[in-house]
Amino acid sequence: MGIDYSQLRDPNAEYTMRDLSAETMGVTRERGQGRDVEITDIQTTMVDGNFPWTLVRIYTDAGIVGTGEAYWGAGAPELIERMKPFLRGENPLDIDRLTEHLFQKMSGEGSVGGVTVTAIAGVEVALHDLAGKILETPAYQLMGGKYRDEVRVYCDCHTEEEADPIACAEEAERVVEELGYDALKFDLDVPSGHEKDRANRHLREPEIAHKVSIVEAVTEAVGHRADVAFDCHWTFSGGSAKRLASALEPYDVWWLEDPVPPENHDVQREITQSTTTPIAAGENVYRKHGQRRLIEEQAVDIIAPDMPKVGGMRETAKIADKADMYYMPVAMHNVSSPVATMASAHVGAAISNSLAVEYHSYELGWWEDLVEEDVIEDGYIQIPEQPGLGLTLDMDAVAEHMVDGEELFDEA
């Protein structure tokens, strides 16, 4: 028998933490102009894409529904179920207060980092879509307006022969010429055939030479038609990362991403400051507090938060604002469905220092079928002027691609 989470919220209970619910904050007075709306339910379903995407829907007594997405992975639906008692009856227009309310109420589940943060982020994205629909304004407008009408997309590229420099170069050429992207990313944490012991994170010179050959082949293939970044997925030791970054200095590398594990910011800083190769990191660090040292100590050249992972749209904008104080651009990591991808694009439109948003599903033929609207065109996302995120879930497509055992959302 499951836990009845509705019993966990007692309006008369005394909490040791700040309680930011409406009944203790005096924010339940009538607002008028159609803004007196209450949350009635939150539902999730998981879609089996190239990652198991967690879609979130927030329902209201006005019949208006907001759609969001949490970062993929196990546990988010259960945590969002846990949050329902803290959201029912609240006004969804209070996005900042409700998000902070969830971070405080979920502190026991670990809202400093990890899946609890990503679950809250999924709710926060849905709140932006919902608030935009209630106020009849695009989500970017809720964040202060826009700097740009379209957001650049960089395409994460793969081949069956991912360690073959020629195959990578040919795929880069195809993605630029046939798919229309002018920004790409390839993996460098691929087998070279020269490894002795990958567990120790050390790169031997033949391994570095192999990675240089991939970078050389890809950058020469596309020339100035596209910018190309290269991802290391936290694979190498500090010394090896320095040697690799140094070896790549002669090439036109947009950035070298996550060369070392994410826990030790001191090592990350040393690598960044040792080379002229631009270094990016940030997708595995949570909330603005986790990104603070990367920015303040200039431990990266480019900050790369993942919006539905780091804490949501407003959290990402706060990180971008901090980065802007150090004249640092933001390249949002993104492995999401069209929902969080579009939400990231709204953030990218609303911040001054947006560089690009990642697209990780170009090999998945039905990715865009999940929504009724076009999302990416010629390597860019045009920012919708429709209310909220400007997307409509195609429920038939969602049903077709749901993870086994999941249930489809209720109708509004």
19 with 95, same domain: the answer is: yes
Please indicate, yes or no, if residue 399 is contained in any of the structural domains: no
Average pLDDT over residues 352-359: 98
User: 402 pairs with which residues across the strands?
Assistant: 47
Residues 57 and 202 placed together within one structural domain of the fold:
no
Whether the pLDDT of residue 4 is over 80: the answer is: no
Question: Domain check: are 103 and 228 in the same one?
Answer: no
pLDDT at 1 over 50: no
What is the overall mean pLDDT for the chain?
94
**Mean pLDDT of the region 298-320:** 98
Domain contains 395: no
Mean pLDDT, residues 2-18: 51
CATH number of the structural domain spanning residue 105: 3.30.390.10
Given 117, 137, 157, the domain boundary residue is: 137
Q: Looking at the predicted structure, is the pLDDT value of residue 11 above 60? A: no
181 and 227 share one domain: yes
State the pLDDT at residue 8.
Answer: 52
147 lies in the same domain as 103: no
Contact criterion met (CB below 8 Å) for 313 and 346:
yes
For the stretch 252-261, pLDDT in tens is: 999 999 999 9
| Domain closes at, from 137, 163, 180 | 137
Q: Which of 106-115, 251-260, 349-358, 386-395 has the lowest mean pLDDT?
A: 106-115
Rounded CA separation 218/136 (Å): 45
pLDDT at 245 over 60: yes
pLDDT at 19 over 90: no
75: its two tokens: 């546990």
Q: Is the pLDDT of residue 21 over 90?
A: no
Q: What is the 3-state secondary structure (H, E, C) of the chain?
A: CCCCHHHHCCCCCCCCCCCCCHHHHCCCCCCCCCCCCCEEEEEEEEEECCCEEEEEEEEECCCCEEEEEECCCCCHHHHHHHHHHHHCCCCCCCHHHHHHHHHHHCHHHCCCCCHHHHHHHHHHHHHHHHHHHHHCCEHHHHCCCCCCCEEEEEEECCCCCCCCHHHHHHHHHHHHHCCCCCEEEEECCCCCCCCCCHHHCCCCHHHHHHHHHHHHHHHHHHHHHCEEEEECCCCCCHHHHHHHHHHCCCCCCCCEECCCCCCCHHHHHHHHHCCCCCEEECCCCCHHHHHHHHHHCCCCCEECCEHHHHCCHHHHHHHHHHHHCCCCCEEEECCCCHHHHHHHHHHHHHCCCEEEEEECCCCCCCHHHHECCCCEECCEEECCCCCECCCCECHHHHHHCECCCCCCCCCC
Residue 197 lies in a domain: yes
At residue 411, the pLDDT reads: 77
Is residue 203 included in any domain, yes or no?
yes
- Do residues 49 and 154 share a domain? no
Q: How confident is the model at residue 18 (pLDDT cuts 50, 70, 90)?
A: confident
Predicted confidence at residue 29, as pLDDT, reads: 74
Percent over 70 (pLDDT), the chain? 95
**pLDDT at res. 56:** 98
Per residue in 379-402, pLDDT (tens digit) is 999 999 999 999 999 999 999 999
| Domain count for the chain | 2
**What radius of gyration do the chain's Cα atoms show?**
22
| pLDDT band (50, 70, 90) for residue 17 | low
Q: Are the beta carbons of 406 and 45 closer than 8 angstroms?
A: yes
What is the C-alpha separation between 318 and 75, in angstroms, rounded?
26
Q: Assess if residue 401 is contained within a domain.
A: no
Instruction: Kindly give the pairing relationship between strand 256-257 and strand 227-231.
Output: parallel
Establish if 404 belongs to a structural domain: no
**Is 79 part of a structural domain of the chain?**
yes
Residue 14 has pLDDT above 60, yes or no: no
The pLDDT of residue 195 is 86
**Domain identity same for 89 and 115:** yes
The answer on 177 and 129 residing in a single domain is no
Task: Check which CATH number belongs to the domain holding 305 and give it.
Answer: 3.20.20.120
* 174 and 132 part of one domain: no
Mean pLDDT computed over 352-369: 97
- Do 209 and 238 share a domain, yes or no? yes
Residue 402 is assigned to a structural domain of this protein:
no
pTM of the model: 0.94
* pLDDT tens-place string over residues 154-196: 999 999 999 999 999 999 999 999 999 999 999 999 999 998 8
Kindly give, in sequence order, each residue whose CB lies less than 8 Å from that of residue 136, ignoring residues fewer than 6 positions away: 387
- The residue-averaged pLDDT of 82-104 equals 96
**Residue of 111 and 77 predicted with greater confidence:** 77
Q: Are residues 310 and 280 in the same domain?
A: yes
pLDDT, position 16: 52
118 & 152 share domain: no
pLDDT value at position 23? 75
Q: Which residues pair with 332 in a beta bridge?
A: 357
Average pLDDT over residues 13-41: 79
Q: Can you tell me the mean pLDDT for 87-111?
A: 94
Residue 171 lies in domain: 142-386
